[in-house]
Amino acid sequence: MEFENLLVEISDGVAIVTINRPKALNALNAETLEELLRAFTNLETDQQVKAIILTGAGYRAFVAGGDISYMQNLQPVAAREFARLGQKVFRVIETLEKPVIAAVNGFALGGGCELAMACDFRLAAENAKFGQPEVNLGVTPGFGGSQRLPRLVGKGRAKELLFTGDLIDALEAWRIGLVNRVVPQESLLLTARETARKIAVRGPLAVRLCKDAVNNGLEMESDKGCAYEAELFALCFSTEDRAEGMTAFIEKRPANFLGR
């Protein structure tokens, strides 16, 4: 895959997508969003890819936000189109059949925080900073931040971050549940790769259905969510992976999952 603003590397069942605009602190413009959409659409159908890591080039920023120089002169109709493009791309990432891990190095602000939140979970370097500082620019979040942030950290904490525009460090992000782990900067990608490889050798259909169960079940009442889970559990029993996984367990050997 050829891109102007992304780097894509695939190894051992894991794809690493790097937003590569370091001079702009990896800020998101329309072209970068379109490339992210193309990259993730292609990776979803790539049979060798079992898990995906999303990160930013360099040590200063995961994604510093939307590209202000791009947004500065947008008129309302164009601004709506830009917001809808970002929301479309992030929803593709959020609902992708394969797990996506955000490896957050440096600033994850505005659109960068929104992009990280669209991933399944987040690992943060010690130097990471998170925030939704859009109110400092006289605007609201546009790529889903007002919706995903309260679902992750609760309504009160989300409103405080959204209303003040304050930034928080990696440890505070971990404390409030925005990130899963905080690791030294030099260990970030290694930790992300280890986690992704661990997922990659699990039953891929089961991982996919787990993601489906969480994403869709959270939008349901508890009883309906449990009923939905039971249907997905039953569906697993129609797969070769389920037979292989249980046989391997009985035979005390590693399972060889084929995704069927």
Active site residues: 114, 134
Handedness of CA 29, 34, 38, 44 (dihedral sign): positive
Burial of residue 234 (CB within 10 Å: 0-12, 13-18, 19+) is exposed
30's CB contacts (< 8 A; 6+ apart) are 70, 82, 85
- Dist. CA 226–CA 221, nearest whole Å: 9
Q: What is the DSSP string of 83-97?
A: HHHHHHHHHHHHH-S
- Dist. CA 28–CA 79, nearest whole Å: 14
Residue closest to 123 by CA, chosen among 174, 199, 58, 175 = 174
Beta bridge partners of 121: 101
- Dist. CA 28–CA 88, nearest whole Å: 14
- Dist. CA 149–CA 178, nearest whole Å: 8
